[in-house]
Amino acid sequence: MRRPSRFRRRAGRACAAALAALLCLGCTAQGATAPETTAEEDSEPAEPTGPIGPDRQPRGHVTLAFVGDMHFQIQLAGLLAHPRGALGPIAHTLGAADVTMANLESAVTVRGTLEAKELESPGERYWFRASPAAFDVLDQAGVDLVTMANNHGADYGVTGLADTLRAMRTSRVAVIGIGRDRRSAVAPYRVDVRGTRIAFLAADASPREGSSSVWSAGPSHPGIVRAREDPRALLAAVRAAGRTADVVVVYLHWGTENRRCPDPTQRGLAASLARAGADVVVGSHAHVLQGAGFRGDTYVAYGLGNFLWYHNRVRSTGVLRVDIEDGEVVGDRFAPAEISTFGRPSLVRGPQRAAALRAWDRLRACTGLTDAGS
């Protein structure tokens, strides 16, 4: 897994060369070879090597940005041929954060066959894929990191999964939530931003669509991180990450489609993650925006909706920015956007922006979250 070069450019002119060398330590974070631990044992995985720096107190201000579901279906496939500027002006907002993360809802392959989704209702089965150029589009748009732990990351079976893992090795965008085995799939991605050490993890907690092993990485086979049926491996990884990181972020694929209030699975898993030490929990999958706020000291954004999507039947989306000060979440800022007919998002301006922000705040009412940490 390679560090995004754009992050290195942000890190400051004076220490750019030294920091670049330090960040290279993270290139093998998904290549850890220590013995696998199973979810059933509920043991914590060994910490992978990463660019976390020496043990010291966090300092400085850090901005993390998050967006929802992205793919390159139908008309959006045309963006793959022209990565530079593909997402338009909203890329400036994405690139302004220290680290920007999204959900890539697609296998990265041009081969493979449709993976069976026999557990899903026949009328609800979809398969998404894109060429490795998808990573170039995201890199040019200011995205540093994606999760592929979702119900489409393994859509094209073992062959598509192998192609995805191969493309990850040369991508300038880091990828988590998927790997050659459970250990590599659940391993956190680590960055050090001005002395604040941040670990990112991801998992799929949406209803399982197929029984194939690709939908759940195991001790010796590839796949995505599953956390709906048994979240113990994820929770153990969160606890382990918290021992050396100042901020632990978890991105989940979860929720009930088209429901704006979090369902019991979301609320229960958010509580478990908070107890395990997660500082920021964000998610997507419902295709609509869901509320955000604090559960104690843990910031939770239940649903970020679609962001780059082949239709705009639900237009509302946005860029969520979470502010970190001295290793603690101090607030959020939401930049509302709308998905166009073509499928690309654009920021909402003028009077419509104020209305969109009020609508975003109202979503918190059914979440049990507060607008400030305890």
24 occurs within a structural domain: no
The pTM of this model reads 0.86
Residue 64 domain-assigned (yes or no): yes
**Could you give the C-alpha distances from 11 to 195, 206, 216, in angstroms and in order?**
11, 36, 36
Domain count, the chain: 1
Instruction: Mean pLDDT check: name the lowest of 111-115, 142-146, 362-366.
Output: 111-115
197 lies in a domain?
yes
Which whole number is the average pLDDT over 79-107?
Answer: 97
Which structural domain, as residue segments, surrounds residue 279?
53-366
Q: What is the per-residue pLDDT across 225-273, written as a single tens digit (0 to 9) for each?
A: 999 999 999 999 999 999 999 999 999 999 999 999 999 999 999 999 9
In a domain, 33, yes or no: no
Find tokens 């009077």 and name the residue: 351
Q: Is 135 helix (H, G, I), strand (E, B) or coil?
A: helix
Contact 346, 88 (CB under 8 A): yes
Tell me what pLDDT residue 35 has. Answer: 29
273 within a domain of the structure (yes/no): yes
Query: Does residue 371 sit within a domain?
Result: no
When mean pLDDT is compared across 114-123, 167-176, 321-330, 344-353, the lowest value belongs to: 114-123
Phi, psi of 75, rounded to the nearest 5 degrees = -65, -25
* Structural domain includes residue 11: no
Provide the pLDDT for residue 128: 94
Question: Domain holding 281: CATH number?
Answer: 3.60.21.10
> What is the side-by-side strand order in the sheet with 189-193?
189-193, 196-204, 247-253, 280-284, 298-301, 292-295
Q: What is the full DSSP assignment across 203-260? A: EE-SPP---SGGGS--SSS-EEPB-SS--HHHHHHHHHHHTT-SEEEEEEE-S-TT-S
Domain membership of residue 39 (yes or no) is no
